[in-house]
A and B are shown apart, each in its own frame.
Chain A
């Protein structure tokens, strides 16, 4: 692997490729990540989108993308990527287009599509070793339809379909592990708030061939109920508390890229978000808080003792 060009924050791109003034919510953590990613991928891309918040980035006749875009449906963006990639390869192979006309094919979906409805088409694309990049912005719910819980919703979170005192009874699915089990070229987690880590991973992914998949934790002021100006702070807290491990997997080997050695208690992350307010008032839900903390601790315990994995 070649050396990164992103040595420090200052080396990150200063001019931005993605246009401003979209209809997404102020402080959208998914958009924050997408901006950073697009700066690195550049405009020789075709973004293949599934139904979700990001679908509303391009509303006729506007688009913030300098490159190309295709909206498909909720379940089949990876299959759209397959069709475009195959077609470009055929055109290149038959000499009908020049290599300069080639594009990077990038899937962009929310967690609802990635963890659930689109999992079969993603699995198929990885199994066929499709040369593409998948960006999942993970706002931990069906955001576009009003933040109902999805397969990515964390335990205890209030969503519009889990409003009771215990919040969401299920557990966030381990998509990193599911994707990794397919042995794609590259899998990584990122968060927009850790821009340098994100840039290096996208740079690395862009330099590889085959299926490369990224899950970007995407703090969502609207769905998680917090002040939009806190998106970066909440993203950082997700990493510092160990709730969102930053890691990558190349050919099956998992490396944690930013280990929070002195982890903050999970409460520092949870208490900032309205979706967890019921854990703190009217009284502290000690049992649930303890359970959430224990799960995070157990994760990092396994990381520090790889033999337990």
Chain B
């Protein structure tokens, strides 16, 4: 099979192109912009029969995407960090509209302080919105996930928007060999969107997203959205199987790497799983029985798979690239709630926070996390969450602080 070198953003654009997307409301933000630039270019060259509109904000962009999907076209959009938060009112709203469309979020740390580099706090803000979430670790997975995401969103058991998430820089700007699937095979896997009853038409007037009075109807529609989201677990499994048959690549809701005979398991999302896998291999070479679990689906949360894979393990190290202020790692909480009280659940769940704002997690840190977790298993007690940071990093920051102080004083003298 022929492979092309593509960035994560390039792979996303290819996914959109192959999916036969009709409509792309857009707004620029680093590190996502290359996706919409690539699509705009293809439209200009006549290579994509698609309409793209640049809105004046992400709030409007999501409104337009949702409204277009509600009118019965296949819509795609993309954003990142501040853009996602700016749109947040509409993220919740359009999920409530039960409209199928796909959005790529290129994860980037949130302000303040403002940064361009990645972590997962942005995407986790959308966790409870009703959007489904697929998290990617490779550029190939980005392309493939977009195709699967449209199937998932449009499935009549689901009918919810889907976010495909990738890490800024580590995926968005990193070139990897990607197999671009054959267009006809994609059309067979993902036929044109049949909106059925999702539409605004003169002959079939509808009222969408109307007000309700009182808790019971409100709860009813909210529960319905939750149940539709849960339906996405078996539907995703079915779609992934069809995808594997058509294209030979398998994507399960949870990726398990060398977990079968592992005693300790790392749990991590997104592209840093590649680093974790490397560490697992090294630790295996050193005789440690370590494995890795990566939730690909974050919503719906694949509780069943996670319980099954982690059953009987002695300890789990959850590595969160996010920080819930005053609590700790979000994924750690999710795992605790999935595992608590379950038969054969691992007795020790250790929480690590790392990789914020693009900070790397080095191999020796993975080894250290493995030994902290092993120690916790021996003690039968998980330590307080660890914030990964090296002495060297602390020295560097102290230096920056000293420079800031001097700069301020210099400015004062020059006045």
| B77 CB to nearest chain A CB (Å) | 10
Chain B CB within 8 A of A233 CB = no
Q: Mark A217-248, 1 if CB is under 8 A from B, else 0.
A: 00000000000000000000000000000000
Q: Are A60 and B57 in contact (CB under 8 A)?
A: no
Chain B CB within 8 A of A97 CB = yes
Q: Are B205 and A80 in contact (CB under 8 A)?
A: no
5 further contact pairs, Cβ within 8 A, besides A76-B90, A82-B25: A60-B211, A87-B23, A103-B201, A120-B56, A121-B59
Q: With A44-B202, A91-B73 in contact, do A72 and B209 touch (Cβ < 8 Å)?
A: yes
Contacts of A69 in B (CB 8 A): 206-208, 210
Show the binding face of B for A, using Cβ within 8 Å: 22-23, 25, 49, 51, 53, 55-57, 59-61, 63-73, 75, 89-90, 93, 200-203, 205-213, 217
Contacts of B202 in A (CB 8 A): 44, 100-103
Q: Are B93 and A72 in contact (CB under 8 A)?
A: yes
Chain B CB within 8 A of A89 CB = yes
Contacts of B22 in A (CB 8 A): 87, 90, 94
Q: Are B205 and A72 in contact (CB under 8 A)?
A: no
Q: Which of A51-59, A165-173, A197-205 contacts B (4 or more CB under 8 A)?
A: A51-59
Q: With A79-B63, A102-B202, A120-B57 in contact, do A91 and B72 touch (Cβ < 8 Å)?
A: yes
Contacts of B212 in A (CB 8 A): 59-60
Distance, CA A32 to CA B72, complexed state (A): 33
Q: Are B63 and A72 in contact (CB under 8 A)?
A: yes
| A105 CB to nearest chain B CB (Å) | 9
* Chain B at the A interface: SS class: mixed
Q: Are A86 and B23 in contact (CB under 8 A)?
A: yes
Q: Mark A62-106, 1 if CB is under 8 A from B, else 0.
A: 010111111111011011111110111111001011001111000
Q: Are A59 and B25 in contact (CB under 8 A)?
A: no
Q: With A58-B211, A73-B63, A83-B64 in contact, do A46 and B200 touch (Cβ < 8 Å)?
A: yes
Contacts of A76 in B (CB 8 A): 59-60, 63, 90
Name B61's closest neighbour in chain A (CB-CB).
A79
Q: Are B67 and A82 in contact (CB under 8 A)?
A: yes
Q: Are A84 and B60 in contact (CB under 8 A)?
A: no
Q: Which of A43, A68, A121 has the most CB of B within 10 A?
A: A68
Q: Are B67 and A79 in contact (CB under 8 A)?
A: yes
Q: Are B59 and A59 in contact (CB under 8 A)?
A: no
Distance, CA A43 to CA B211, complexed state (A): 21
Which of A65, A83, A127 makes the CB contact (< 8 A) with B71?
A83
Contacts of B75 in A (CB 8 A): 83, 87
Contacts of B56 in A (CB 8 A): 120-121, 123-124, 127
Q: With A82-B64, A123-B56 in contact, do A90 and B23 touch (Cβ < 8 Å)?
A: yes
Show the binding face of A for B, using Cβ within 8 Å: 43-44, 46, 48, 55-56, 58-60, 63, 65-73, 75-76, 78-84, 86-91, 94, 96-97, 100-103, 120-121, 123-124, 127-128
Q: Are A73 and B89 in contact (CB under 8 A)?
A: yes
Q: Lowest 9 A-B CB distances belong to which pairs? A: A83-B67, A124-B56, A79-B60, A87-B71, A83-B64, A83-B68, A79-B63, A87-B68, A76-B63
10 contacts between A and B (CB under 8 A): A65-B207, A72-B67, A76-B59, A76-B63, A78-B60, A80-B66, A83-B25, A87-B22, A96-B72, A120-B60
Contacts of B203 in A (CB 8 A): 100-101
Distance, CA A71 to CA B207, complexed state (A): 8
Q: Are A70 and B211 in contact (CB under 8 A)?
A: no
Distance, CA A124 to CA B55, complexed state (A): 7
| A99 CB to nearest chain B CB (Å) | 9
Q: With A43-B205, A46-B200 in contact, do A83 and B65 touch (Cβ < 8 Å)?
A: yes
Distance, CA A87 to CA B201, complexed state (A): 11
Distance, CA A89 to CA B64, complexed state (A): 14
| A252 CB to nearest chain B CB (Å) | 22
| B267 CB to nearest chain A CB (Å) | 36
Name B24's closest neighbour in chain A (CB-CB).
A86
Name B25's closest neighbour in chain A (CB-CB).
A83
Which of A58, A68, A90 makes the CB contact (< 8 A) with B51?
A90
Q: Are A88 and B71 in contact (CB under 8 A)?
A: yes
Which of B70, B71, B93, B207 makes the CB contact (< 8 A) with A58?
B207
| B159 CB to nearest chain A CB (Å) | 16
Q: Are A68 and B68 in contact (CB under 8 A)?
A: no
Distance, CA A58 to CA B201, complexed state (A): 18
Distance, CA A127 to CA B53, complexed state (A): 12
Q: Are B201 and A80 in contact (CB under 8 A)?
A: no
Q: Are A70 and B209 in contact (CB under 8 A)?
A: yes
Q: With A44-B202, A103-B200 in contact, do A82 and B53 touch (Cβ < 8 Å)?
A: yes
| A300 CB to nearest chain B CB (Å) | 35
Name A58's closest neighbour in chain B (CB-CB).
B210
Name A67's closest neighbour in chain B (CB-CB).
B205
Distance, CA A86 to CA B68, complexed state (A): 7
Contacts of A46 in B (CB 8 A): 200
| B407 CB to nearest chain A CB (Å) | 36
Distance, CA A78 to CA B55, complexed state (A): 10
Q: Are B201 and A97 in contact (CB under 8 A)?
A: yes
Contacts of A65 in B (CB 8 A): 205, 207
Q: Are B211 and A86 in contact (CB under 8 A)?
A: no
| B51 CB to nearest chain A CB (Å) | 6
Name A71's closest neighbour in chain B (CB-CB).
B209
Name A82's closest neighbour in chain B (CB-CB).
B64
Q: Are B200 and A68 in contact (CB under 8 A)?
A: yes
Distance, CA A78 to CA B209, complexed state (A): 16
Contacts of B51 in A (CB 8 A): 86, 89-90
Distance, CA A176 to CA B394, complexed state (A): 57
Contacts of A83 in B (CB 8 A): 23, 25, 63-71, 75
Q: Which of B55, B70, B89, B207 has the most CB of A within 10 A?
A: B207
Distance, CA A120 to CA B63, complexed state (A): 14
Name B217's closest neighbour in chain A (CB-CB).
A60
Name B66's closest neighbour in chain A (CB-CB).
A83
Q: With A68-B205, A84-B67, A88-B71 in contact, do A56 and B23 touch (Cβ < 8 Å)?
A: no
Contacts of B69 in A (CB 8 A): 83, 87
| A109 CB to nearest chain B CB (Å) | 13
Contacts of A55 in B (CB 8 A): 211
Q: Are A80 and B207 in contact (CB under 8 A)?
A: no
Distance, CA A31 to CA B229, complexed state (A): 39
Contacts of B64 in A (CB 8 A): 79-80, 82-83, 86
Name A128's closest neighbour in chain B (CB-CB).
B53
Distance, CA A100 to CA B65, complexed state (A): 24
Which of A44, A87, A100, A127 makes the CB contact (< 8 A) with B72?
A87
Contacts of B68 in A (CB 8 A): 83-84, 86-87, 90
Distance, CA A81 to CA B25, complexed state (A): 13
